[in-house]
Amino acid sequence: MLTPRATVALETERLILRPRRIDDADALFAAYSDADLMRYWSGPPHDDVAQTRAEFENKRDPAWRSWAITLKGDDTAIGMVAAGEKRQGEVSEIGYMLVRAHWGGGIAREAVSAVIDRIFAEGQRRVFADTDPDNAPSRALLERLGFVLEGRLRGEWATHIGERDSVIYGLLRDEWAMSGR
């Protein structure tokens, strides 16, 4: 059994990443109700904020930590980054989401980088991400961060848009350290 790790607040030049709260559902409903953004998510767009709140209440896997992305000086969640430890002390998976109004300004890269720094500082040796092959923005972010495409899992997910393949990107602690990020 994996030992849960604490979700501690992280700070970057422009952001505070704090533990995600159930009341962040109100702000993040803008993302969860966005049909284009949710196309490659694990479930369909949400119809109302109560559905988002219910998802936040029900996702309490001790192996996963979630950070709300906030701008310094404004505690309103504009996105989130999550990390799940897959093998204790060795490997974690990451996922992320950003409200569309904040796309294109480097916020996702800054937030995900902070979480990767934290994961590697805790001793993990590898971080990976699982994304849809057609999710070009997510794939581009991972590649900008130095992740390497490791493989494709055919028919991996049964989703609201049908059966989907999955592509796996990985990053090793030594690669991250050598990149100077």
Average pLDDT over residues 5-24: 93
Whether 28 shows a pLDDT value over 80: the answer reads yes
CA gap 48, 50 in Å, rounded: 5
CA gap 102, 140 in Å, rounded: 16
Q: How many CA atoms lie within 13 A of 75 on its CB side?
A: 7
Q: How many CA atoms lie within 13 A of 92 on its CB side?
A: 30
Whether 99 shows a pLDDT value over 50: the answer reads yes
Assign 1 a pLDDT band (cuts: 50, 70, 90): very low
Whether 63 shows a pLDDT value over 90: the answer reads no
Average pLDDT over residues 98-108: 96
Average pLDDT over residues 139-144: 97
Exposed / middle / buried, residue 8 (Cβ in 10 Å: 0-12, 13-18, 19+):
exposed
